[in-house]
């Protein structure tokens, strides 16, 4: 007598979690089938975009599968753990969206400035040199964080992974570096105005 394969609805939560932790791909499929709608709904509600929510859902389950050794059933439920991963992935997506919007706005502003005044091109080159000089005077950690953020287009979470620093440290370096740059650039403007 052969038995039909069990689906995600046929397996109780404890067996499902045990199989998932052991690396049973059928249990991964069942976990995705059972709690994928929860993760997708959370992402869709937070992001307002069905396609992006699908991407986030896939990222969540990929991260859960790769990091399943880090799940401790005695500290919480599997759906709670998946929800925590989803919240982090959603936050990263929102931060990336904000950064993209800021870059697009900045690029648009630059294009408008260039179109308005062709003669300003030498000044733009001078501004880039001035900015590079000011960046070089920042403390090394602040300079590294800002370079990774602006030139390598990394999120603060990705910068923390690359540098091995805690996320709060990365955020502090970014904030201090930007404040210091803004202050120095304002001082230069005041010196030019006084001259």
Supply the CATH number for residue 179's domain. Answer: 1.10.10.10
Q: Is residue 111 part of a domain?
A: no
22 within some domain: yes
Domain-embedded: residue 78: yes
Model-level pTM? 0.51
For residue 114 the two structure tokens come to 């260039």
If one counts every other C-beta atom within 10 angstroms of the C-beta of residue 25, the result is: 10
Look at residue 67 and tell me if it is in a domain: yes
- List the alpha helices (DSSP H) in the chain: 13-22, 25-47, 50-66, 78-116, 121-136, 140-150, 156-163, 167-194
Do residues 130 and 87 share a domain? no
Q: Specify if 44 maps to a domain.
A: yes
Question: 181 is in which domain, residue-wise?
Answer: 118-194
CB atoms within 10 A of CB 154: 20
pLDDT in tens, the chain (195 residues): 333 344 445 677 888 899 999 999 999 999 999 999 999 999 999 988 899 999 999 999 999 999 999 998 889 899 999 999 999 999 998 888 888 777 777 766 666 555 555 545 566 666 677 777 788 888 989 889 888 887 788 899 999 988 899 989 999 988 998 888 788 777 655 545 555
Question: What's the confidence (pLDDT) of residue 4?
Answer: 35
Asked if 17 and 88 sit in the same domain, the reply is yes
How many domains are there within the chain? 2
pLDDT at 3: 37
């Amino acid at each position: 007598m052969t038995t039909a394969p069990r689906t995600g609805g046929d397996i109780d939560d404890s067996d499902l979690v045990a199989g998932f932790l052991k690396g049973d791909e059928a249990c991964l499929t069942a976990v995705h089938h059972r709690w994928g709608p929860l993760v997708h709904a959370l992402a869709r509600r937070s992001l307002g975009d069905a396609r992006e929510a699908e991407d986030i859902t896939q990222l969540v389950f990929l991260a859960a599968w790769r990091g399943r050794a880090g799940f401790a059933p005695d500290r919480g439920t599997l759906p709670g753990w998946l929800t925590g991963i989803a919240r982090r992935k959603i936050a990263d997506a929102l931060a990336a969206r904000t950064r993209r919007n800021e870059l697009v706005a900045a690029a648009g502003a630059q294009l408008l400035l260039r179109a308005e005044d062709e003669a300003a091109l030498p000044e733009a080159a001078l501004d880039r040199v001035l900015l590079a000089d000011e960046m070089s005077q920042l403390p090394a950690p602040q300079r590294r964080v800002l370079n990774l953020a602006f030139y390598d287009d990394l999120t603060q979470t990705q910068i923390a992974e690359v540098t091995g620093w805690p996320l709060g440290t990365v955020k502090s370096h970014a904030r201090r570096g930007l404040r210091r740059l803004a202050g120095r650039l304002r001082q230069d403007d005041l010196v030019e105005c006084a001259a």
